[in-house]
Amino acid sequence: MNNAEMLGIVKKQLSVDLNCAVDDLNGEKDTFIFCEAKDNPGRRPFPRGENHFEMLSMGKSIVVSAAPMLLKYVKLQLEGASRDDAFSKPFIYGHSVYFLPDMKRAKSLGTPDGLQYEMVEKGDLLKLYETKGFSNAIQYDPDHPRPDVLAVLAKKEGKTVSMAGASADCLSMWQIGIDTLPEYRGLGLGAYLVYQLSEKIIEQGIVPYYGTASSNIASQKVAYRAGFMPVWMCVYNTCFEPLVMCSTR
């Protein structure tokens, strides 16, 4: 896959998630697009409450997808606002940045020395749940709606010291997470494992993606070093007052 093909797959999936048109994500003008949230078939199964709200941007336009009871309220609050003001509204706190591989820049990384590496596929993933401390990489739940499907480990004398895992968030996109024990950080393990895992995912014709909080600079550096580029951002925490409706994505 090249960059354009991956981006096309992602836009199609996001349009299902947000209940918007693909063209809404291509907006070349600083404008808001408001959509009523719906549980469309094939959407990524992130939990949603009755007060669901999402706000996402891939460029200039901003797509807002909200439950019917919130849509009118947020439309009044956001229409006419600048981009910075919109993402700083009092009912919004917490932004995620999402990355895709940049196939023009991605290249194999040097293998950190003194460690052993292991790729673990779906049939053997359950044994990883016995190893605690890697909750960003694996779900620790065999019945999770976004199941673990692939992982790559770095080991030192048989002990797992770093792990990158992929969850099947939908048929076309698998999300990568990474955890490294504190005493093994700074060795390049995170970027190396994320790159190796992304290559394995792409071989299967699936788009790997990586998400992190906008405040987590260390995690963003891992993504960049692994050959990823930022593609979209969205809101993951909200609190609506005086309605007193709070949710986390």
pLDDT in tens, 69-95: 899 999 999 988 998 899 999 888 889
Query: Is residue 105 domain-resident?
Result: no
Which residues constitute the domain of residue 158? 116-226
Query: Is residue 237 domain-resident?
Result: yes
Residues 212, 239 share a domain: no
Residues 214, 151 share a domain: yes
User: What's the whole-model pTM score?
Assistant: 0.92
CATH assignment at residue 152:
3.40.630.30
pLDDT digits (tens, 9 = 90+) for 111-120: 888 999 999 9
Query: Is residue 107 domain-resident?
Result: no
Query: Is residue 108 domain-resident?
Result: no
Residues 122, 91 share a domain: no
Task: Show the CA angle centred on residue 107, arms to residues 101 and 110, nearest 5°.
Answer: 125
pLDDT digits (tens, 9 = 90+) for 34-74: 999 999 999 999 998 888 899 999 988 999 999 998 999 99
Residues 174, 74 share a domain: no
Structure tokens at 110: 């040097």
Residues 87, 166 share a domain: no
Q: Distance between CA atoms of 105 and 202, rounded to whole angstroms?
A: 15
Query: Is residue 55 domain-resident?
Result: yes
- Neighbouring residues of 109: CB distance < 8 A, sequence distance ≥ 6: 188, 191, 192, 195, 225, 226
Residues 217, 151 share a domain: yes
Residues 240, 163 share a domain: no
Residues 28, 7 share a domain: yes
Residues 123, 40 share a domain: no
Dihedral over Cα of 141, 142, 148, 151: its sign: positive
pLDDT digits (tens, 9 = 90+) for 18-31: 999 999 998 777 89
Query: Is residue 122 domain-resident?
Result: yes
Residues 220, 127 share a domain: yes
Residues 215, 121 share a domain: yes
Residue type, 72: K
Q: Reply yes or no: is the peptide bond before residue 112 cis, omega within 30 of 0.
A: no
Query: Is residue 144 domain-resident?
Result: yes
Measured CA to CA in angstroms, residue 119 lies from 17, 122, 154, 222, 224 at distances of: 31, 10, 9, 19, 22
Structural domains of the chain, count: 2
Query: Is residue 10 domain-resident?
Result: yes
Residues 170, 208 share a domain: yes
Is the pLDDT score of 236 beyond 80? Answer: no
Structure tokens at 212: 């992190």
